[in-house]
Structure 1
Amino acid sequence: MKCPICGKPASEHYRPFCSRRCADVDLAHWLRGDYRIPAEPVTDSDKEE
Protein backbone atom coordinates (compact mmCIF):
# COMPACT_ATOMS: atom_id res chain seq x y z
CA MET A 1 0.00 0.00 0.00
CA LYS A 2 1.27 3.47 -0.87
CA CYS A 3 0.89 6.63 1.21
CA PRO A 4 -1.96 8.72 -0.27
CA ILE A 5 -0.04 11.94 0.40
CA CYS A 6 3.48 11.29 -0.93
CA GLY A 7 3.34 7.84 -2.57
CA LYS A 8 6.00 6.18 -0.38
CA PRO A 9 5.31 2.72 1.10
CA ALA A 10 2.90 2.89 4.07
CA SER A 11 4.21 2.36 7.59
CA GLU A 12 2.50 -0.18 9.85
CA HIS A 13 2.43 2.39 12.66
CA TYR A 14 0.87 5.24 10.63
CA ARG A 15 -1.14 3.20 8.15
CA PRO A 16 -2.32 4.19 5.53
CA PHE A 17 0.37 6.89 5.71
CA CYS A 18 4.13 6.53 5.67
CA SER A 19 4.86 8.91 8.55
CA ARG A 20 3.41 11.20 11.17
CA ARG A 21 4.08 14.14 8.85
CA CYS A 22 1.87 12.75 6.08
CA ALA A 23 -0.85 11.89 8.61
CA ASP A 24 -0.74 15.49 9.86
CA VAL A 25 -0.88 16.84 6.30
CA ASP A 26 -4.01 14.75 5.69
CA LEU A 27 -5.57 16.00 8.94
CA ALA A 28 -4.89 19.59 7.86
CA HIS A 29 -6.74 18.91 4.59
CA TRP A 30 -9.77 17.71 6.57
CA LEU A 31 -9.68 20.66 8.97
CA ARG A 32 -9.46 23.19 6.11
CA GLY A 33 -12.42 21.54 4.39
CA ASP A 34 -10.46 20.40 1.35
CA TYR A 35 -12.25 17.04 1.43
CA ARG A 36 -15.93 17.67 0.82
CA ILE A 37 -18.81 15.84 -0.76
CA PRO A 38 -20.67 18.13 -3.18
CA ALA A 39 -24.30 18.60 -2.21
CA GLU A 40 -27.23 20.90 -2.81
CA PRO A 41 -27.89 23.60 -0.16
CA VAL A 42 -30.62 22.77 2.32
CA THR A 43 -33.69 25.01 2.04
CA ASP A 44 -36.27 25.77 4.73
CA SER A 45 -38.81 23.47 3.06
CA ASP A 46 -36.27 20.63 3.20
CA LYS A 47 -35.78 21.17 6.92
CA GLU A 48 -39.52 20.73 7.63
CA GLU A 49 -39.61 17.26 6.05
Structure 2
Amino acid sequence: MKCPICGAPAAPEYRPFCSRGHRDRDLLMWFDEGYRLPGRPVSDEDAEGLDSPGERD
Protein backbone atom coordinates (compact mmCIF):
# COMPACT_ATOMS: atom_id res chain seq x y z
CA MET A 1 0.00 0.00 0.00
CA LYS A 2 1.25 3.48 -0.86
CA CYS A 3 0.78 6.72 1.10
CA PRO A 4 -2.09 8.70 -0.51
CA ILE A 5 -0.19 11.96 0.06
CA CYS A 6 3.27 11.20 -1.31
CA GLY A 7 3.18 7.70 -2.77
CA ALA A 8 5.84 6.28 -0.43
CA PRO A 9 5.29 2.84 1.11
CA ALA A 10 2.87 2.95 4.05
CA ALA A 11 4.28 2.43 7.55
CA PRO A 12 2.35 -0.22 9.53
CA GLU A 13 1.79 2.09 12.53
CA TYR A 14 0.39 4.92 10.33
CA ARG A 15 -1.45 2.95 7.62
CA PRO A 16 -2.41 4.02 5.04
CA PHE A 17 0.13 6.84 5.47
CA CYS A 18 3.92 6.69 5.52
CA SER A 19 4.39 8.92 8.59
CA ARG A 20 2.66 10.64 11.46
CA GLY A 21 3.03 13.97 9.69
CA HIS A 22 1.10 12.79 6.65
CA ARG A 23 -1.54 11.18 8.84
CA ASP A 24 -1.96 14.45 10.75
CA ARG A 25 -2.00 16.51 7.54
CA ASP A 26 -4.89 14.40 6.26
CA LEU A 27 -6.81 14.85 9.53
CA LEU A 28 -6.31 18.62 9.39
CA MET A 29 -7.70 18.69 5.86
CA TRP A 30 -10.93 17.15 7.21
CA PHE A 31 -11.05 19.60 10.15
CA ASP A 32 -10.44 22.63 7.90
CA GLU A 33 -13.06 21.43 5.39
CA GLY A 34 -10.39 20.85 2.76
CA TYR A 35 -12.24 17.64 1.92
CA ARG A 36 -15.96 17.84 1.34
CA LEU A 37 -18.58 15.22 0.70
CA PRO A 38 -21.13 16.04 -1.98
CA GLY A 39 -24.63 16.86 -0.87
CA ARG A 40 -27.61 18.87 -1.89
CA PRO A 41 -27.45 22.65 -1.47
CA VAL A 42 -29.02 24.03 1.70
CA SER A 43 -31.82 26.51 1.04
CA ASP A 44 -32.68 29.40 3.36
CA GLU A 45 -35.75 27.48 4.57
CA ASP A 46 -33.63 24.43 5.45
CA ALA A 47 -31.09 26.59 7.27
CA GLU A 48 -33.70 28.26 9.53
CA GLY A 49 -33.81 25.28 11.91
CA LEU A 50 -30.03 25.00 12.21
CA ASP A 51 -28.15 26.54 15.11
CA SER A 52 -25.20 28.72 14.26
CA PRO A 53 -22.06 27.94 16.33
CA GLY A 54 -22.55 31.06 18.47
CA GLU A 55 -26.12 30.15 19.46
CA ARG A 56 -25.48 26.78 21.11
CA ASP A 57 -26.17 26.38 24.80
- TM-score normalized by structure 2? 0.68
1:24 aligns with 2:28: no
- TM-score normalized by structure 1? 0.77
Q: How many residues align?
A: 45
Flag the structure with more relative contact order, 1 or 2, with Cα contacts below 8 A and sequence separation at least 6.
1
Q: Report % sequence identity.
A: 56
Q: Which runs of 5+ in 1 are unaligned?
A: none
Q: Match for 2:3: what amino acid?
A: C
**Rounded Cα–Cα distance in structure 2 between residues aligned with 1:39 and 1:25:** 24
- Alignment RMSD: 1.5
